[in-house]
Amino acid sequence: MTKKIKIETELEIFESVSDLPESIQELMNKAHAARNSAYAPYSSFHVGAAIKLANGEVVTGNNQENAAFPSGLCAERVAAFYAGSQYPGVAFHAIALTAGSLKQTTITPIPPCGACRQSLAEYEVNQKKPIPIYFMGEMGKVVKVDSVKDLLPLVFDSSYL
């Protein structure tokens, strides 16, 4: 018997940063600050990430590009790998992301790329607790997902190895 299964993703959409809970507004403000220091001379697309950790620390990152293009790294992975290296085993409470281009004003909420979703999933699977992710452009609406799995259903994890 053939079966079809539907996978649903729920997005919560906030009209602006000011509608977010205060602690997430603060986190998003740190992501904006991080975006402003991105090194993105090739794409002019600047991304900032801020991760609130279970120990109260906030770790930020931004995209770091390279003349050999694939050698660069996205903001989300810069932040996540820094958190993982400095605070091993400390859970991620929430992630805030903002992206904007120097070429135009970005009001569309920009979600993390596929590779970053996979990298973030590793931390979520290990900590056994979903990580809410808030993402936006430079301004405007903010989208919240409750878990990395909402962005990456059928995640590949170590249970398959």
Q: Which residues bind ligand THU (CB under 6 A)?
A: 40, 43, 45, 47, 63, 65, 72, 74-76, 112-113, 116
Residue 43 C-beta: closest distance to ligand THU, Å = 4
Buried b (16+ CB within 10 A) or exposed e, 9-29: eeeeebeebeebeeebbebbe
CA dist., res. 106 & res. 152, Å (int): 24
| Nearest-approach distance from CB 40 to ligand THU, in angstroms | 5
Q: Is residue 76 flagged as an active site residue?
A: yes
Query: Is 58 or 95 the residue whose CB approaches ligand THU more closely?
Result: 95
* CA 121 vs CA 80, 96, 157: distances in Å: 11, 15, 8
User: What tokens appear for 124 in the block?
Assistant: 């979520």
Q: Two tokens at 80?
A: 């996540």
Q: Which of 84, 100, 91 is nearest to 129 (CA)?
A: 91
CB of 5 to ligand THU, least distance (A): 27
- The residue among 45 and 81 lying less far from ligand THU, judged by its C-beta, is 45
Provide, rounded to whole angstroms, the least separation between the CB of residue 134 and ligand THU: 14
Catalytic one among 12, 22, 65, 76? 76
Q: Which is nearer to ligand THU, 11 or 54 (CB)?
A: 11
Nearer to ligand THU, 65 or 138 (CB): 65
Q: Among positive and negative, which fits the CA dihedral 122, 124, 125, 127?
A: positive
Burial of 92 (0-12, 13-18, 19+ CB in 10 A): buried
Question: Hey, which residues are catalytic here?
Answer: 76
